[in-house]
Amino acid sequence: MTSEKGIGFGVIGFGPAFNMGRYHCELISSTPGLRLVSICDTNPERLMAARHEFPKAKTYPTIEGALSDPEVEAVSIVTPHNTHAELALKAISSGRSVIVEKPMCITVEEADEMISAAKGKGVTLTVFHNRRLDGDFLAIKDIVDRGLIGKVFHIEAFGGSYGHPGYWWRSDKKVSGGAFYDWGAHYLDWVLNIMGEMIVGVNGYFHKLVWDDVTNGDQVEAVISFESGAMADVQLSSISIAGKPKWRILGTKGGILDAGGGESFRLYVNYKGFNFETSVNYVKTDWRQYYVNIAEHLLHGKELLVKPEEARRVIAVMRMAERSSRTGKREAIPHEGELSWIDKLK
């Protein structure tokens, strides 16, 4: 039963990577309707840091300990990618709602098992796709949704540069899932939300040419074909010495060009035969709204900002792109047409 003080959350993982465990603790602690109950980490030094920074929270060295606490009603999992599914399934099995850091997991099979388990237990499962609340994406999405560039038929999205990807678990394919699973998860989530269409298939092009001392690929690319005939080309690279814009979006009445890293993008519109160009400012980024949505969903039944089926599609595109890079064929998304929720996209 939910406490009058708010829904009790446990954070699983307080590791040092980008201080994301700490950030989740801060978000939970500052969101009305939620309260931070506990922090779990297998590293004693990280648990000590957690006690120092969040002295009111209980600490546990194992997820089993955290899940034995009756005050913990939901958990946020902030751990390496290849642990997401296992930890989420343990939490779901115990009857807890679960937030998983992006990416949701490594494989489509894991995603399906997580979704099925959450439905079976009647608990919430969602993924921390916080960058869906980025100001540049929100401004672009608003222009598209208002129809100012007409029907979108072509998207190019790019992230990368030329440089060693670093020596840590995010560069280890067995742990991270591959080069697509970091920033690529954000880019794919953005693209799929802009398009809002069924995916017909994915072509993938993966390269391993330069950085042989790590196991992630050097450059990954997914070309996504949609039901209407539209396409999106998403590319992430650590060997791109000549870059390209972050966004190039074409519609039947205009387009968007965004170099990235600024405060605005260029909007091109054709109106009554005349071409116009202007600058559109980004809106405010507010990742805290993610947990506001969680509180409103768990307490009042508000629709989730990020549905698990949406996060599953991101995983599926990454996996099918990798398969396509090996087979040389366009690969279909498993069970894409069988997902009843997808009708809402049309």
- Tokens 């039901």 locate to 227
Question: What is the per-residue pLDDT for 5?
Answer: 81
- Mean pLDDT within 301-320: 98
pLDDT at residue 1 greater than cutoff 50:
no
Residues 123 and 142 in one domain: no
What is the CATH classification number for the domain harbouring 108? 3.40.50.720
pLDDT at 16 over 80: no
CB 35 within 8 A of CB 3: yes
How many CB atoms neighbour CB 121 within 10 A?
A: 17
Contact 141, 283 (CB under 8 A): no
Q: What is the pLDDT of residue 2?
A: 52
Q: Is residue 280 domain-resident?
A: yes
In 163-307, where does DSSP find H-type helix?
173-176, 183-195, 288-300
Q: Is the pLDDT of residue 345 over 70?
A: no
Q: Are 311 and 77 in contact (CB under 8 A)?
A: no
343 versus 253: which is more confidently predicted? 253
pLDDT of residue 346: 41
Tokens of 33: 């309707």
Kindly state whether residue 215 falls inside one of the protein's structural domains: yes
Residues 278, 148 share a domain: yes
Banded model confidence at residue 199, pLDDT cuts 50, 70, 90: very high
Q: Residues 56-88: pLDDT tens digits?
A: 999 999 999 999 999 999 999 999 999 999 999
Do 100 and 164 belong together in one domain? no
Say whether both 90 and 228 belong to one domain: no
Percentage of the residues of the chain whose pLDDT score is greater than 90: 93
178 pLDDT more than 50: yes
Strand partners, 269: 254, 276
Over the stretch 262-281, which tens digit does the pLDDT of each residue have? 999 999 999 999 999 999 99
Residues 28 and 63 in one domain: yes
Number of other residues whose CB lies within 10 A of the CB of residue 162:
13
Q: What is the rounded average pLDDT of the residues 191-211? A: 98
Q: What's the token pair of residue 229?
A: 């005939």
pLDDT digits (tens, 9 = 90+) for 76-133: 999 999 999 999 999 999 999 999 999 999 999 999 999 999 999 999 999 999 999 9
Maximum CA pair distance of the chain? 66
CA distance 113 to 158: 31
Q: Are residues 187 and 271 in the same domain?
A: yes
Three-class DSSP category at 41: coil
Interior angle at CA 155, CA 150 and CA 158, nearest 5:
145
Predicted pLDDT of residue 341: 47
CA distance 20 to 173: 20
Q: How far apart are CA 43 and CA 57, in angstroms?
A: 16
Q: Which candidate, 236, 156, 235, places its Cα nearest to that of 194? A: 156
The residues pairing with 126 across neighbouring beta strands, listed in sequence order, are: 99
* Each residue's pLDDT tens digit, 208-250: 999 999 999 999 999 999 999 999 999 999 999 999 999 999 9
Considering the domain architecture, whether residues 104 and 180 belong to the same structural domain is answered as no
With 0-12 CB in 10 A as exposed, 13-18 as middle and 19+ as buried, what is 317?
buried
∠ Cα 261 222 79 (to 5°): 70
Portion of the chain with pLDDT greater than 70, in percent: 96
Whether the pLDDT of residue 20 is over 80: the answer is: yes
Provide the 8-state DSSP code for 287: T
**CB 235, CB 157: distance < 8 Å:** yes
* pLDDT of 4: 63
Q: Are residues 101 and 196 in the same domain?
A: no
Q: What's the pLDDT at 119?
A: 98
Mean confidence (pLDDT) of the chain = 95
Residues 221 and 164 in one domain: yes
**What tokens appear for 257 in the block?**
């060009």
Rounded Cα–Cα distance for residues 85 and 105 (Å): 6
Closest among 111, 101, 104 to 13, alpha carbons compared: 101
Indicate whether 262 and 152 sit together in one domain.
yes
206 and 231 co-located in one domain: yes
pLDDT at 187 over 80: yes
Please compute the mean of the pLDDT values over residues 162-170 and round it to a whole number.
92
The pLDDT of residue 266 is 98
Total domains present in the chain:
2
Is residue 30 included in any domain, yes or no?
Answer: yes
**Per-residue pLDDT at 111:** 98
The stretches of the chain forming alpha helices (DSSP H) are: 20-30, 44-53, 63-67, 84-93, 108-121, 135-145, 173-176, 183-195, 288-300, 308-327
2 in a structural domain: no
